[in-house]
Amino acid sequence: MKDIAVMYHYVKTNDWKGIVSLEPEIFEQQIDILNKSYEIVSPDDLRKPRGLKPRCVLTFDDGTKDQYTIAFQIMKNKGVPGYFTVMSSPLLDEVVPIFHLVHIVLSFHSDEEIWGDLRGRYDVDEVPQLSGIYSYEKDIYRRYNKYAFNFFLTKDQARDYLQEKAIKVFGTSKNLIDQYYVSKNEFMEMKSQGMTIGVHCAHHTPYCGDANIFYKDEIEPCGLFLKNELNITPEWYTPAFGGGEQYKAMFRDLEPILREHGYKAGFATTPGKNNGLSNFWLNRYDCIHVPPFKSIEN
């Protein structure tokens, strides 16, 4: 068990206060460090016998624009491959998942302003005393807002408010999608430059407990997008939220369905090493915690 996979989300200068991102320079340093001990490969290379070095797959979730404008350009310059995934619902239906709407709204508006909006629109008087789980947040309004969006408001209430607010940042819904996500043509370019493109999800929901329904709702539509729009046979899968709370049931029940549809592996969020494709579900280290990067932090 020697190979590893590293999980990346945003790779961009940290000028958005609503997200956690990896600085581009740190990303470059990580590639250099990984290159010393590992062979950075495409997922498909994991099917081949291992060479002298253990292998490392760089994996990217959520398909945000920075992955094309920053991560992909760095990787192209350094000549290393990677594995990028598509979330199809923003590209097909202009529907942005709630967690991305939260990232946008918290990055472009003050928490005090958002809390003021919420108080004007909904009965959120109970939120301050309920919001203790976010006491690690220094900004008291950030604490209230996070609790309100994640636990207190209904999904529809949160979406109504966040969508309107997020679209205003970009002018139109189409602009938001164009500026926030890797486009179809950009994915095509990445593919032509040797990057592997896989399935992340349709709407970014955690595993629902029924593998057939989950496949139909979250995986098949994205797989069809890959086939029809990008001319790619989907073979690699990365579950949203690593599957979520029911990930163990997902590992068990979804694997046969995915194998039946031609998928070769799923990239999970459980940390740990891998041995080629001996397991269907591959462990991944978050780029913030992966062991070889300790030397950067120290």
List contacts with Zn ion (CB under 5 A). 61-62, 240
The rounded distance, in Å, linking the Cα atoms of 60 and 195 is: 11
CB 261 within 8 A of CB 222: no
- Identify whether the C-beta of residue 200 lies closer than 8 Å to the C-beta of residue 87: yes
Q: State which residue has the least CB distance to Zn ion.
A: 61
Closest CB to Zn ion among residues 202, 232: 202
Minimum distance from residue 24 beta carbon to Zn ion (Å) = 20
Smallest distance from Zn ion to CB 9, Å: 7
Between 167 and 222, whose beta carbon lies closer to Zn ion?
Answer: 222
User: C-beta of 25: minimal distance to Zn ion in Å?
Assistant: 24
What CA–CA distance (Å, rounded) separates 81 from 202?
24
| Residue 241, φ and ψ in degrees, nearest 5 | 55, 25
The partner residues of 266 in beta bridges, in order of sequence, read 237, 281
On whether the CB atoms of residues 252 and 268 are closer than 8 A, the answer is no
CB of 200 to Zn ion, least distance (A): 6
In the numeric block, which tokens belong to residue 225?
């997008």
E strands, 131-288, in order: 196-201, 236-237, 265-267, 281-282, 285-286
By beta-carbon proximity to Zn ion, the closer residue of 162 and 199 is: 199
- Closest to Zn ion by CB, 93 or 126: 93
Q: State the minimum distance, in angstroms, from the CB of residue 238 to Zn ion.
A: 7
Q: Of the two residues 109 and 200, which places its CB atom closer to Zn ion in the complex? A: 200
